[in-house]
Amino acid sequence: MAFVNLTETKDFHSHQPVLNTFVEGAARRADALGYKLENFWFHEPGISPNRLGQILRNRGIKGILFGSTTHRGSQVDFPWKDFSVLTVGYSIAHPLLHRVVTHHYRNAMLAIRNAVAAGCRRIGFVINKAQDAYMDDLHAAAVYAFQAGIPRANRVRPLLLKDLAPRSLEPIAPWFHQHAPDVILCAGLSLEHIRTSGIDVPSEVPGIELLIVHPSPNVAGINPRYDLLGGMAVNLLASHLQHDEFGVPEVPVILQVEGSWHPGNSFPTPLNKRI
């Protein structure tokens, strides 16, 4: 099997904890199933997509895990018909491939349920639009679905940030003081960004992260279980290889891995009860 890095940086995944965890998990599972997972860079100088396909064929590699491009709506050209392929995340839009993803929508709903069960009624959301778009806007979708089902008096207008530049963080404090939420849920940014804006978490308000990259006792929220995602990807790819399923699929399959609630000091006891 091959893992193909689609980013512009050759060693991108080694500097990205999320992707590195995915690749390591995939390599372990591949080894357990009798495969070897080898790394390749899509943008290797002098190597066209067709040439890369030829190299993989010559190496006897028929199964490929494509990494993320880190750009929404990406198109990737490759000799698909010769390989069984799948990708991680939502970045590749053309062609539509089998993919493995974290279940961002249900993960957000899990965090919301924990906040509600702890007695929070006015739930505030701070969302990095650029990052959430990369995740198909699924955190935002869960937020708006929740808001539609509660009394209008309890709705807190979500704060949508353009990016995480210092100037983009400036609206956080005024938004917080205007709306006085019982808790702040962060999507596409960390609670440290909230603190940088001048709000003391959890002294002033408890906080929950919807995507915890490094689980620790200090941060409550959702562990997306990236440690499982790579292994699940290899399981699916191995199944397609065993059934001689090659090329762009007629009906793409999305395998979603649900996260788990991670209690932490940012959402203090007795608030951090698990559903």
Pair 132, 187 in one domain: yes
Based on the fold, state whether residues 171 and 61 are members of the same structural domain. Answer: no
Both 91 and 112 in a single domain? no
Contact 109, 91 (CB under 8 A): no
219 in the same domain as 115: yes
Per-residue confidence (pLDDT) for residue 163, from 0 to 100:
92
Give the DSSP H/E element, type plus range, for residue 4: strand 2-5
Question: Do 93 and 183 share a domain, yes or no?
Answer: no
Residue 18 neighbours by CB distance under 10 Å: 17
**Is 173 inside a domain boundary?**
yes
CATH number at residue 135: 3.40.50.2300
Domain count, the chain: 2
Angle at 131 between CA 266 and CA 212, to 5 degrees: 30
Query: Do both 16 and 86 map to the same domain?
Result: yes
CA 18 to the chain's CA centroid: 8
User: Do 66 and 18 fall into the same domain?
Assistant: yes
Is residue 175 included in any domain, yes or no?
A: yes
Is the peptide bond preceding residue 202 cis, with omega within 30 degrees of 0? yes
Residues 218 and 232 in one domain: no
In terms of domains, do 176 and 42 share one? no
**What's the farthest any 2 CA atoms get from each other in the chain?**
64
Any domain includes 195: yes
pLDDT of residue 270: 66
The answer to whether residue 87 sits within a structural domain is: yes
User: Tens-of-pLDDT digits for all 275 residues of the chain?
Assistant: 999 999 999 988 777 777 888 899 999 999 999 999 999 999 999 999 999 999 999 999 999 999 999 888 999 999 999 999 999 999 999 999 999 999 999 999 999 999 999 999 999 999 999 888 888 999 999 999 999 999 999 999 999 999 999 999 999 999 999 999 999 999 999 999 999 999 999 999 999 999 998 889 999 999 999 889 999 999 999 999 999 999 999 999 999 999 999 999 999 966 554 44
Q: Where in the sequence is the domain holding 51, given as residue range(s)? A: 2-102+225-259
In a domain, 38, yes or no: yes
Q: Does some domain include residue 157?
A: yes
Say which DSSP state 158 is in. P
Residues 144 and 218 in one domain: yes
CB atoms under 10 Å from CB of 251, counted, come to 6
Residue 11 maps to a domain: yes
Structural domain contains residue 44: yes
For residues 139 and 216, membership in a common domain is answered with yes
Q: Write down the pLDDT at residue 273.
A: 47
Query: In this structure, are 114 and 215 located in the same domain?
Result: yes
